[in-house]
Amino acid sequence: MKPNRQEKEQSEYRLPTNVKPTHYDLTFKTDLKKATFEGVVIIAYGDSDSRSLASLEVKKDTSTITLNVSRLELTNATILSEEGEKPVAVVQTDEAQERVTYKLDEKLPSGSQTKLKIYFSGKLGGNMMGYLRGSWEYEGRTEYYALTQFQPTAARSAFPCWDEPLLKATFTITMISRADTVSLSNMPALSEQPILEGLDAETWKITKFDTTPPMSTYIVALANGPFKFLEKSVVMPLSRKTIPLRIYTSPAKVSQAEFVLGVTASVLPLYERILGVEYPLPKLDTVAGNIVDGAMENWGLIIGRSAAFLLDTDNADLLAKKRVASTQSHEIAHLWFGDITTMEWWNYLYLNEGMLTPPRIIDRFLVFTRNGALIRQRLPPPEGQTGVTSA
């Protein structure tokens, strides 16, 4: 009997279902000067309520584990159990499908407990996909920074993972970076401490971030560089929580972030009130750089091109202000449509984007004031009157 279309898609384009990740423990070391990064990911089966465990749920008896990898150098890999650590070997690498398969010495029974640890390294890219390095000129010197762009399937080029939107998991991220840089991720930093590493005695620091809610790999986000920021906070209408908002960019352009910061402060609480669903994260940052295309709705850390977010309010015309406000409004809407509620597979992307195009959510708002940005709900006009449909 020939396999049906769904079975064929599963075998050719989807990962095996013998294991399912529920938590990643990720550590990245970013070297902006050398344009490299390295790290370790731990994935295992454990108590889903314990954020200290990296979790991989064994759904079926298996002696192999297959996951996504692209453009990474993999070194040591081990299975951790009560008996200790045992090395595992790569038995198959499929560059076309961007997969790697590890062979286990002993079969893992369904429901068993184990941990898979993988060391990896890679180069910071410049092709607008993956973990990227850019630069700017400031006060006569060249400064480097790094940003991520993972949608749709580039998270696998930054760390080994189950890079499918349906396979949500929680993430605990640690970043090691040079002490004179800023490190950012989806969640707030819990701690940051200096460390001393290397024969040249350069100063580094380690930043540990809070654990995320369950989310898809494509909205995991990292940023590292000599950023400066503007900030303000908003009180959310449902939760009554105070959410800090920051816009990060180069020191030379940080003054141009005031307008988009105002948009963010207006839009975030408005979406919560209209949609009736609390914004679940404790902060929202936005980073503007020139090594990504457009903008990306990473949960808690929106990343986009400088032209999408920054403008000189004294010289920008109304069209430029509307463009920035529309872009940020769109990305913030994705924090609900796409981040909280996510498509099962990429052929359903129209559901993710379609909710945010006219005559859906975005079309319900007008973007425009003389002195800043205000997003207002567009209500139907009273009978006999004409509704205003443009700013």
Residues pairing with 146 in the sheet: 133, 224
270 three-class SS: helix
DSSP H or E segment with residue 352: helix 349-354
Is there a catalytic annotation at residue 98?
Answer: no
CA dist 327 and 138 (Å) reads: 27
Answer whether 43's CB lies under 8 Å from 24's CB.
Answer: yes
Nearest-10 crossing angle of helices 318-334, 258-275:
40
Q: How far is residue 111 from each of residues 41, 59, 105, 285, measured CA to CA in Å? A: 21, 7, 18, 38
> Going by DSSP bridges, is the β-strand pair 228-235/182-185 parallel, antiparallel, or unpaired?
unpaired
17 three-class SS: coil
CA dist 35 and 200 (Å) reads: 18
CA dist 99 and 97 (Å) reads: 6
Among residues 73, 95, 331, 344, the one annotated as catalytic is 331
DSSP one-letter string for 171-211? EEEEEEEETTSEEEESS-EEEEEEEEETTTTEEEEEEEEPP
Structure tokens at 234: 């908003």
Question: Would you please indicate which residues are annotated as catalytic (active-site) residues?
Answer: 331
